[in-house]
Amino acid sequence: MKKILICAVPFSDNLGDGVIAASLAHIAGLKYPKASVEFLDIAGRVGFQEENLRGGGAFEVFARLPSLLRSLIVFLYCLKGYFLVWRKNWKAAVSDAELVVIGGGQLFCDVALNFPAKLFLLSRLLRGKRVVVVSVGVTAKWSFWGRYLVKRFIKNARPVFYATRDKESAHNLHTHFRIPRGSIRVVPDPALVCADAFSEELSPEKNWDIGICVSSLDALVMNSEYSNSNSTESARFFSTLAESLQAQGKRVLYFTNGASEDNKVLSEISSGAGAVKSGFFVPRHPDELVSLISACSCIVAHRLHANIVAYSLNIPSIGMNWDKKVESFFELTKRKRYLFDLSPRVEKLEASVLSVLSEKTPDRQTLDLLRGEVVAGVHALI
C-alpha cells in the first residue's frame, strides 16, 4: 500500500473532526507503516482557520431562512466550489490513491444538504477506486434530496465495506439507504485512540480542576436530531456554572472545540465582569485541543469529541445531551449516569462534577476494550 486518502473534514474549525482524521491516520500507519496517508477535506479547505459564515451575523440570518431556501443556497455554494476549485484539487488527490477512506465523523447527515451535496460531488471522481466507509455517524432525519444525493454517492463510489460508529447509525444506514444489515460493521469512533495519536502533546500537569467546553446552544439545537430540543442563553448558562464551581475553590478553564459559533459565545463570556477569575483558551489545531483537555482533571461538555478525547485520556467528563450521537457514546462507554439534558440545573451539574473529581479508581477496562475494537475494526476494513 503506497497511498491512503482519508476523505472527511479534517480541517474543520470544529477540531474534533481533525482529531478523528489524525487518529485514523495513526491506526492506518500501524498496519501500513510505509504508506503515505493524506487528507482530503470535502468542504474544500486546504488548512485550518479558513473563514466560514457560522461565527458571524450571517449565520443568524441563514438560520432563520426556510429550510428549502437554506438547502438551495448550500447546494449552489457546493456546486460553485466544486467546478471552480475543488474538482481540480480533488482529482489530483484521488488519482494516485490505492485506498480511499470515507470517515469517520457524522458525515451521513442532512443539515441543509451540506454533506449529501459534498459526498455526491466527491463520488463523481471515485469511480473505479477502492473505497471504504469507516466509523461514520448516520442520522435518522433525511430530506428527499439529501437521501437522493447520498444514494448517488453510494452508486458512484461503490464502497466495498461499510462501518458505522454505533448500532443506531448502522440501523439508519440500512433503513434509509438499503445497505444490507449484515454488510454493515460497527467500529467505534477512531478518536478513542487519540491518546496514542497525540501522545507527544499530552500535558504532564493538571493545571485546571474543571474544563468547561463552551458551545452555542442555538447552533446545537439547529443541528439536533431531537425535535423537542430547546436552548437557553448560552453565555449565561456557562458563566453561572463556572461561578458555582469557583465558589467551591475549583480552578476553571473555559475552552471551545474551535467552532466559530462557539468561539463567539466564549468571547461574550470573557468580556464579562467575573472573567478575570478564569482561564480562556480557543484551540486552533487538533493537537492544541487534546493538550488542553489533558491538562484538566474533569471536563463538562456538549460537544461529542470533547467528551471522546477526555475519555480516551482517562479524564472524567460530564456530558450534556443535544443529539443522538452524544447519547450513543455515553451508552457505549457505560457512563449514562454522567449525561444530562441540554441545559440542566447548575446545581445538578456541580454535584456531578464534584463527585467525579473525588473518584479515585476510574474504569479503564471498557476504554481498553473499545480501543482494541477500533484498531482491529479499522484494520479489518483497510
Mean of pLDDT over the chain:
92
Between 90 and 233, the more confident residue is 90
Q: Per the structure block, which three cell numbers stand in for 42?
A: 470535502
Which pLDDT score, from 0 to 100, does residue 361 have? 61
Phi, psi values for residue 226, rounded to 5°? -75, 130
Phi, psi values for residue 156, rounded to 5°? -75, -45
Query: Are 81 and 113 within 8 A, CB to CB?
Result: no
Which pLDDT score, from 0 to 100, does residue 147 have? 98
| DSSP sequence for 64-98 | HS-HHHHHHHHHHHHHHHIIIIIHHHHHHHHHT-S
Which pLDDT score, from 0 to 100, does residue 273 have? 66
Phi, psi values for residue 11, rounded to 5°? -105, 20
Least confident of 30-44, 222-236, 252-266: 222-236
H helix and E strand count, the chain: 16, 12
pLDDT at 87 over 70: yes
Confidence tier at 272 by pLDDT (50, 70, 90): confident
Query: Are 27 and 378 within 8 A, CB to CB?
Result: yes
In this structure, are strands 210-213 and 299-301 parallel, antiparallel, or unpaired? parallel
Between 115 and 272, the more confident residue is 115
Query: Are 260 and 271 within 8 A, CB to CB?
Result: no
Which pLDDT score, from 0 to 100, does residue 56 have? 53
Q: What is the pTM of this model?
A: 0.93
Write the pLDDT tens digit of every residue in 16-65: 999 999 999 999 999 999 999 999 999 999 988 766 555 455 666 777 78
**In whole angstroms, what separates CA 323 from the centre of its chain?**
12
Which pLDDT score, from 0 to 100, does residue 52 have? 57
Rg (CA), the chain: 20
What number is the average pLDDT over the span 183-207? Answer: 96
The CA-atom distances, in angstroms, between 41 and each of 44, 87, 216, 265, 307 are 6, 12, 24, 26, 23
Terminal alpha carbon distance of the chain: 10
